[in-house]
Structure 1
Amino acid sequence: MAIKDWYKLTFQIESDAEEIIIWKLNELGIFSFSFEYFIKTENKKEVNIWLPIDEWDESSRSDFEKIINKLLNINDSKDQFFCWSIIKEEDWLTSWKKYWAPEFVGNNFLILPCWINLNEKYKDKQIIKIDPGAAFGTGSHPSTYLCLEKMENILFSDKKVLDIGSGSGILSIAARLLGAKEVYAVDNDYLAINSTNSNFQLNFGNLNNLNTYLGSFNEVFFKYQLKKFDFVLCNILAEVIKEMIPNIYKCLRNNGKVVFSGILNSQKDEIIKILIQNNLKLLDVSSKKDWACISAQKASNPI
């Protein structure tokens, strides 16, 4: 495999701009990024974006800066807003590891970066080993926390589960740890599918009971006739979720349940309205920081 060097772009944003940045990066097909929280200034975050050097010339980088400026309503002449640096492939693959540490989620989950040895005192936890790469996190985002906390209280034993937007595969792994019989993972990024497969193998030593599909959920739903799921897990952006809800309803079995995360508190009422319009009964809403997690159920006899 050819060695690839990277541009690293760094800039600061207000915390409430995180969701719009994620949306725009996904729209542009950029998936290698991270958000760093400033402890002393909780309302500020540092954005780090990695772009392959051979795909981003000076003109492309300038155009990208203009897109971000427009998105954040920043004056083009503002000095030192964007900081560009060059990262060698070997540095890119290792330097970010210093930011990750074992993380506890809920009462039972421990997310363990695969290069860290497990402390004996945590062996009673549900261990999720993750090798995230720079494109996918270890589950630290509030929306992932909310989803995992919700999953702890669900009986997955012998159930059929669909994970939409699988990313690193963290929710697929959690579902399998909790007893799911079959896990189906969908993502529109081949790097995510590779990551899901790799991390599943890391945790279970095989890919038994895991089915992965590359493409958008709506495309995959029609192509493979996905149906009769007991649970659907969907941790992606609200704007994307809205378009999926009708087909999520169709792929659930009667009384099947869905957990949505990746939704800002300001967006939850609109999502709930669409759920009700599609005969999905609201079960619960929880929140963490600015994010909401919504669970709903397909009624056996919709009105």
Structure 2
Amino acid sequence: MKWSEICIHTTEEAIEAVTNILYEAGAGGVVIEDSQDLQQEWTSAEGSIYSLDPADYPMDGVNVKAYLPVNSFLGETVEEIKQSVNNLLLYDIDLGDGRITFSEHNEEEWATAWKKYYKPVSVGERFYVSPTWADFQPEDESRHVIELDPGMAFGTGTHPTTILCIEALEKYLPNKADVLDVGTGTGVLSIAAAKLGASKVLAVDLDHVAVQSAQLNIKLNKVQDIVEIRQNNLSDNIEGTYDVVVANLLAELVIRLSEGGVADLIGGNGLLIASGIIKPKKDQVVTALARTGLSVIDEMESGDWIALVAKKAD
């Protein structure tokens, strides 16, 4: 079977929004090539330093590549994608040049080629993140191993925004905590929380494919007795209170989450960990949190990304 690779050159800020458009259009998989990754020093789970091949990455910005089956509907699908990407400008999302290019690949080429982007790596101080197909034997037995099958469109758990959330969980998650994971994606943050000692985790995502991906990974990591997966729009109709709410979302969605009453879901001494925030939009998020009674107590950054830790204002 032949697949058409559609490549959208955009910005880090637009990655999640563009990715959502692509899998809603029926993409058979998504690869993210971020030029910022070339500036980082990557440490494998075995402790060795490895470098990425610059030929696989754009000189600047981000390439988001999706794979669509070559069929009679391809032309219409591509036009819908173009229109949806252009509509992101209405939400004040910086698309960069938004250049779209195409190429064709055989299924066998795509199915194996994308795996070169994903190796076992050390994350934070207490985790390894490894693909399920890797024959990985951790050298440091004090670290937890999170095995992920990233599925078709939900990443490898090593994006800076995810790493910031894991580091914040390592720092702030109390033992036996009740956790709400909003926008769970692969479920990696829920798995991390469970392995760090959470007693109960509710993980929600609006997209049913993300829910299926998270359910698979929860079982792979044997934390299904702790983590519940549910299809849900942000924190709508969720009841009770939580010790930690973690939300790895776009800045606009973090603002919408705060306006939707997330503060009411945070217990008296509880915390909100919010990531996926591009630096230029940090002040907007801080202001939105303050309007709903949440005060930022810590800020973490990686490249152009910010994670905020907030609690209810005294």
TM-score band, normalised by the shorter chain?
A: 0.7 to 0.9
* 2:298 alignment partner AA: D
Please give the per-residue CA displacement for 1:123-143, whole angstroms capped at 9, x wherever unaligned.
221211111123111112111
Report the identity percentage.
31
The 8 Å contact of residues 93 and 133 in structure 1, kept in 2 or not, is answered as: no
RMSD (Å) for aligned C-alpha atoms: 2.7
Provide Cα deviations, 1:1-25, integer angstroms capped at 9, x if missing partner: xxx8643212444xxx232243244
Look up the match of 1:154: 172
Classify 1:91/1:185 alpha carbon distance in 2 versus 1 (closer, same or farther; 3 Å).
Answer: farther
User: Structure 1 residue 217: deviation in Å?
Assistant: 1.7
Asked if 1:293 corresponds to 2:307, the answer is yes
Residue in 2 that maps onto 1:142 = 160
The match for 1:210 among 227, 246, 264 is: 227
Aligned counterpart, 2:12:
18
- Structure 1 position 269 matched with structure 2 position 263: no
What is the TM-score when the length of structure 2 is the normalising length?
0.81
173-182 vs 226-235, which deviates more?
Answer: 226-235
Contact kept in structure 2, 1:11 and 1:83, CA below 8 Å: no
Higher alpha-carbon deviation: 270-279 or 96-105: 96-105
Say if 2:253 is the partner of 1:259: no
**TM-score, structure 1 as length reference:** 0.83
Aligned pair partner of 2:150 in 132, 153, 171? 132
The residue number in structure 2 matching 1:180 is 198
Amino acid paired to 2:156: T
Counterpart in the other structure of 2:122: 104
SS, match of residue 20 in structure 2 = helix
Q: Deviations over 1:68-109 (max 9, x none)?
A: 57865759xx9xx51232443x65544322221011112221
Q: Which runs of 5+ in 1 are unaligned?
A: none
In structure 2, list runs of 5 or more residues that go unmatched: 39-53, 90-94
Structure 1 residues 73 and 265: CA distance shift in structure 2, 3 A: closer
> How much has 1:46 moved relative to structure 2?
2.6
CA contact (8 A) 2:263 2:312 kept: yes
Amino acid of the residue matched to residue 216 of structure 1? N
User: C-alpha separation between the residues in 1 aligned to 2:6 and 2:158?
Assistant: 21
Matches within 5 A, 1:194-273: 194-204=212-222, 207-218=224-235, 221-222=236-237, 225-246=238-259, 247-273=261-287
Pairs aligned (count)? 284
2:63 equivalent in structure 1: 46
